[in-house]
Structure 1
Amino acid sequence: MNVVLAVKLYISKMIEESGPGMKVLLMDKETTSIVSMVYAQSEILQKEVYLFERIDSGGRETMKHLKCICFLRPTIENVELLSQELKSPKYGLYYVYFSNVISKQDIKTLAEADDQETIREVQEFYGDYVAVSPHLFSLNLIGVCQGRSWNQVSFKRTVSGLTSVLLSLKKCPMVRYQNSSEMAKRLADHVRQVISREAALFDFRRTDSAPVLLILDRRDDPLTPLLNQWTYQAMVHELLGINNNRVHLGSIPGISKDLQEVVLSSEHDEFFANNMYLNFGEIGSNIKDLMEEFQKKSKNQSKVESISDMKVFLETYPAFKKMSGTVAKHVTLVGELSRLVGNHGLMNVSECEQELVCQSDHNASLQNIRGILSSEKTRQEDMLRLVMLYALRYEKHSNNDIAGLMQALERRGLPEKLRKMVPAILEYGGQKVRGSDLFEAETPIAMTKKFLKGLKGVENIYTQHKPLLYKLLDQLIKGKLAEASYPYLGTSQLRDRPQDIIVFVIGGATYEEALVVHNMNKTTPGIRIVLGGTHVHNMKSFLEEITSATQGLYGASQRFHSRPGRW
């Protein structure tokens, strides 16, 4: 199961089916993101696609010598725009591909508009989602719920996106959902309805063990998106922001024009592919090795003394130039991460966070938080995240000092809209909302395990936390996931251990959870897991999610995102 490969194969097939000759690729806003995540522009150019256009952009030139490959979401707006296009075609022939199921009525509308008979092909190719990495996909939706119910537009988009993932991976799964979440149950019901209605599309070859779709709600684990991260990809997203594999670095003082926006893709950047899941300490060492390798190649490139040397130089120059760009990009990124860590005392902040969520010494945690809140180094977002984590951890503790910490935030100058996120997180994912126990009681067995673990060597204090997803997947793989809490939809039940698992998180997944899935895929033979969510969160986007869900409560109704990486 590989979502990047699934979408890539669809796009390759579209281009090949139109035959030889110059082509234009006509997309909408969403399919532009879907394509750009799996194909570099240079790769598509090699397939005779010389022009990329948006169907909603005006003033496009008429070029009858070009074939047009349309890749569009099957929305009312796109059908209308394509109908207008066909009445006055700008290109010679049209090969139309929709990213999901399209109705017979819409097909009829297009046929009636095609007076000049320019359409050669109309097909459904189910790439209706953003493939972030082979085992991670997103729908790029923020603010999917109002209170504890679905936002209707987001719900419709989520049903179509999730069913397209199943179709692209050729899976007709058994559906399990989080019983404590009405939103999870509703999504599970509607996905099952689509599978029943489109039974012919979901008629795939049966496997020994049926695939499983597990639908979860972000409210059950509000901790994970609030934590600082220390693996490369997750850290870049938390501190700088990754949007469709792009990182904006324009705010870095003295940044060169070439590096104001960089692309981080495991498909097109070997160094990133090899290092995205490594921790920050290892990245520093690997960057040093990359620099040394580049310096050696630079010396070789400078020795052009004969015709044969020139020939070798010209042959190796493209690879050398690519390596030069890779070195510049990663040195800049790691340098900026390092600057932020040092300037804002993030190691102290992270240590405090990890102790807060992984241990249960209330007095020590409270003292540490107060110390960090009083430091001039500490950023506003880190003050806020610590108090939100404390509120979740000690919500029901008899001596909790949430009110005192809120006052400390006010003294440090945090605006009211941010301070109101503390009660908002309890409304969003507090104890009365969660179906799982995020903070397990310290039983004698748990204490013994922790002690034995300590004897084997101290764990990295910055990465002690394991998302709830780790425990759920472990139980699911072992056949021990409680049916009362995660029931099957319908009467059928799984007899064998699942091999193919698709997990979907309403309210957004995280790169920390993607790391859990990556490690499980690597270490559990025969198991293939894909993770998806309505979004891939860092703390900033997660605050938006909470704001949308608790709109009108506590006055927490303002949006938080500005430019990526900025507050």
Structure 2
Amino acid sequence: MNVILAIKQYISKMIDDSGPGMKVLLMDKETTSIVSMVYAQSEILQKEVYLFERIESTGRETMKHLKCICFLRPTKENIDLLAQELRMSKYGLYYIYLSNVVSKQDEFFGDYIAVNPHLFTLNIVGCYKGIDWSPAALKRTTQGLTSALLSLKKCPMIRYQNSSEMARKLAESVRSTISKDAGLFDFRRTDVEPVLLILDRKDDAVTPMLNQWTYQAMVHELLGINNNRVSLANVPGISKDLQEVVLSAEHDEFYATNMYMNFGEIGNNIKELMDEFQKKSQSHAKVESIADMKAFIENYPQFKKMSGTVSKHVTVVGELSRLVARQELLEVSETEQELVCQGDHSASLQKIKTLLNNNKVTQLDKLRLVMLYALRYESHSNNDVAGLVETLRKQGIGEKHRACVSAILEYGGRKARGSDLFGSTDPVAFTKRFLKGLKGVENVYTQHKPLLYSILDQLMKSKLREAAYPYLGSAQLKDRPQDIIVFVIGGTTFEEAFCVHQFNKSVPGVRIVLGGTAVHNFTTFLDEVQTAGQPVSLSRADAVRR
């Protein structure tokens, strides 16, 4: 199962079906993102697509010599714009494709953003309305999730998190869509039926709040990744051509190889990349013969590509290094990890107090530490949440932002979640955690494993408790699942995507795809908590003072 390949094949078929000749690709805001995530512009140019337009743009030129391939989400607004476009046609021929189900139409199912081969998102931040769905978000999520199932050609058995009413509602909405469009889901049966597992972010509010140390996750946490694009506009001394860079595993071999490496490994690999580039550039320094010229011309495209790759990753890694040092993230992260993975309340409290009074630590990280502490020691008899919030006040963090500490308890505290997130009621889990803390781990910055890890581990061992994660309907899976689609209401993270990547590599015969309403870093997760009826989140522009 590969969501990038699924979308890519659809787009390729759309373009190929229009035959030879010059083409324009007409899209809306969301399908533009869908296409740009899986295809580089240079790749589409090779398929004779020379123009890219947005359907809502006014003042487009009439070009009757071009064929127009329309790829749109089936919204009322887009249908109205399409009708208007066809009444006053600007192009010679139109080929119309919709990203999701509209009766009596020719549908392709690409109604989601494919981020990695095993990760997709709907780019919805704010699906909660109090403790229930925002109606528009439920509808959009159902459309996106069923589109993913159709593109992967899976008609799954559905399991959901029993403690979440929102998970049950989405499960029923997806099943209703499958029943209504049964013909579309009539795929060839496999020996073991695929499983769709629907989870709620509220069961693990810790994972989106932790600083990250693998390349992709770290870039998203410190710089932000938006549809594979990273803004470097605020980097000191940045050149104009590097103010925004694209990080895509489909089109960048170095990124594909290193996206799950930890920060220490990335530094060494960047040096090797630079050494290789210097060797190649030196070999082309002298062009003295016809043979030299021919070799240079043949190798130049790759040489130019490598030059761009080197400068891009050196700049990104350099900025990450600057932020790590400037914001004392090693100390912050070590404290976070000990806080959520071990049980020494007094030691953690003392370290947090020290960091709260450290002027190098950003307000965003100070808030993060106090929110994590509030979750971890919510029911501890000697917890000092009130004292830490008062320290935040003295540090100049405003009331609406300090209120995020109580908001996270409402969102993902003991009453809101169905899991034993910290192993406090399971003696075996607590003992394992305690022993792990005593022995230490290879990397103190990556001790934490998301709740998703243990859920998937139990699911693949056929030990996932049905009381906690029931099947929708009477059918049950007797064998170990092979194809698993996990969807997280309220958003997933790159740490969880890394976890899925590890399972896909290490467990033969099992294929897992992870999806979510969003892919969060701490800043966007605060926005998610806010829309659940909580105080305004702390924006990165206000909170991170570089």
TM-score for both structures, normalised by structure 1: 0.94
Written as runs of structure 1 = structure 2, the 5 A alignment for 1:115-264 is 123-264=106-247
Q: 1:563 to 1:52 in 2, by over 3 A?
A: farther
Number of the residue aligned with 1:92: 92
Q: CA deviation at 1:550?
A: 2.1
Give the alignment partner of residue 287 of structure 2, picking from 297, 304, 308: 304
Amino acid at match of 2:31: T
CA distance in 2, matches of 1:400, 1:563: 29
CA distance in 1, matches of 2:417, 2:430: 24
Q: 1:524 to 1:231 in 2, by over 3 A?
A: same
Provide structure 2 residue ranges, at least 5 long, that are not aligned to the other structure. Answer: none
Amino acid at match of 1:41: Q
Q: 1:540 to 1:67 in 2, by over 3 A?
A: same
**Is the contact between residue 176 and residue 489 of structure 1 (CA under 8 Å) also seen in structure 2?**
yes
Written as runs of structure 1 = structure 2, the 5 A alignment for 1:463-502 is 463-502=446-485
Q: CA deviation at 1:308?
A: 1.3
Instruction: Note the alpha carbon deviations across 1:296-345, whole angstroms, 9 max, x for none.
Output: 01101111111211111111111111100000000001100001011111
Number of the residue aligned with 1:65: 65
Q: CA deviation at 1:177?
A: 0.4
Number of the residue aligned with 1:431: 414
Instruction: Note the alpha carbon deviations across 1:170-219, whole angstroms, 9 max, x for none.
Output: 00000000011111000000000000000000000000100000000000
Amino acid at match of 2:103: S
CA distance in 2, matches of 1:282, 1:257: 28
How big is the alpha-carbon RMSD for the aligned residues of Structure 1 and Structure 2?
1.7
Number of the residue aligned with 1:316: 299
**Is the contact between residue 544 and residue 561 of structure 1 (CA under 8 Å) also seen in structure 2?**
no
Written as runs of structure 1 = structure 2, the 5 A alignment for 1:496-535 is 496-535=479-518
Number of the residue aligned with 1:540: 523
| Secondary structure of the structure 2 residue equivalent to 1:124 | coil
Number of the residue aligned with 2:368: 385
Q: CA deviation at 1:253?
A: 1.1
Instruction: Note the alpha carbon deviations across 1:200-248, whole angstroms, 9 max, x for none.
Output: 0000000010000000000000000000000000000000000000000
Give the alignment partner of residue 539 of structure 2, picking from 546, 557, 560: 560
Instruction: Note the alpha carbon deviations across 1:424-458, whole angstroms, 9 max, x for none.
Output: 10111111000001110386645664577579873
**Is the contact between residue 342 and residue 433 of structure 2 (CA under 8 Å) also seen in structure 1?**
no
**Is the contact between residue 391 and residue 402 of structure 1 (CA under 8 Å) also seen in structure 2?**
yes
Amino acid at match of 1:560: S
CA distance in 1, matches of 2:226, 2:56: 22
Amino acid at match of 1:23: K
| Secondary structure of the structure 2 residue equivalent to 1:123 | coil
CA distance in 1, matches of 2:289, 2:543: 49
CA distance in 2, matches of 1:409, 1:455: 31
CA distance in 1, matches of 2:424, 2:224: 35
Amino acid at match of 1:397: H
CA distance in 1, matches of 2:539, 2:423: 32
**Is the contact between residue 26 and residue 71 of structure 2 (CA under 8 Å) also seen in structure 1?**
yes
Written as runs of structure 1 = structure 2, the 5 A alignment for 1:319-338 is 319-338=302-321
Q: CA deviation at 1:356?
A: 0.3
Q: 1:195 to 1:442 in 2, by over 3 A?
A: closer
CA distance in 2, matches of 1:454, 1:408: 28
Provide structure 1 residue ranges, at least 5 long, that are not aligned to the other structure. Answer: 105-121
Instruction: Note the alpha carbon deviations across 1:502-552, whole angstroms, 9 max, x for none.
Output: 00000000000000000000000000000000000000000000011024x
Number of the residue aligned with 1:6: 6
Q: CA deviation at 1:153?
A: 1.1
Count of matched residue positions in the alignment of Structure 1 and Structure 2: 546
**Is the contact between residue 210 and residue 494 of structure 1 (CA under 8 Å) also seen in structure 2?**
yes
CA distance in 2, matches of 1:278, 1:497: 30
Q: 1:259 to 1:342 in 2, by over 3 A?
A: same
CA distance in 2, matches of 1:241, 1:446: 34
Instruction: Note the alpha carbon deviations across 1:8-32, whole angstroms, 9 max, x for none.
Output: 0000000000000000000000000
| Secondary structure of the structure 2 residue equivalent to 1:172 | coil
CA distance in 1, matches of 2:485, 2:228: 22
Q: 1:537 to 1:566 in 2, by over 3 A?
A: farther
Structure 1 residue ranges (4+ consecutive) displaced by more than 6 angstroms after TM superposition = 454-457, 563-567
Residue identity (%): 71
**Is the contact between residue 363 and residue 544 of structure 2 (CA under 8 Å) also seen in structure 1?**
no
CA distance in 2, matches of 1:442, 1:465: 18
Amino acid at match of 1:46: Q
Q: CA deviation at 1:376?
A: 1.3
